[in-house]
Amino acid sequence: MQREPARLVAAAGRVQADLRRTTDHPWTCTIDDDLVLTVSDGARSEQLALVAEVEDEDWYAPAGATPGELGAGLDADADEVVGTEVAEALRALGLTWPVCADHARVLGNCSGAWYCPGEPQHDIAEAGRLPGGAAGARPVPDSAGRTLG
Ligand SMILES: [Zn+2]
């Protein structure tokens, strides 16, 4: 099943809101018609191509799902892929985001929910509802553990 651009664009809006709220910086997350994600703060930007197919169709779009279940599943898939890829783009720009304030671990996104790998693993918030101040972007440490820039 193909990903729907409109769902990915909506997910990018949610992740952009998370990014702005947690960094107090005017980041933009946009997705074009070719499913290329662009993450930019106006001065620097990174682009990544999103996979066009829903990667775990049995989970997100199972046979027999009602239209409502299918829509919710596809939105969760969109949030997960956009959240994950925005974090990847930021890493390429030298920023670790989002970070758990309690454990200093990079959050993952599973089915639209930001979670901290722990220890112990715990859920933080749905995409679009990441609390401000809890998970700002941090510079990526270099191999010696120092932070750049
Ligand atoms: Zn944590």
Every domain of the chain and the residues it spans: 5-139
Tell me if residue 77 falls in helix, strand or coil.
Answer: helix
Give me ligand 1 centre to Cα 136, in Å.
13
Residue 31, φ and ψ in degrees, nearest 5: -130, 125
Report how far ligand 1's centroid is from the alpha carbon of 110 (Å). Answer: 15
Cα 85 to middle of ligand 1, angstroms: 20
Q: Are 116 and 71 in contact (CB under 8 A)?
A: no
Q: How far is the CA of 126 from the centre of ligand 1 (A)?
A: 15
Tokens standing for residue 81: 């892929």
Angle at alpha carbon of residue 22, lines to 24 and 110, rounded to 5°: 150
Rounded distance from Cα 21 to ligand 1 centre (Å): 18
| pLDDT in single tens digits along all 149 residues of the chain | 999 999 999 999 999 999 999 988 899 999 999 999 999 999 999 999 999 999 899 999 999 999 999 999 999 999 999 999 999 999 999 999 999 988 888 999 999 999 999 889 999 999 999 987 655 566 565 555 544 43
Tokens of 55: 């990667």
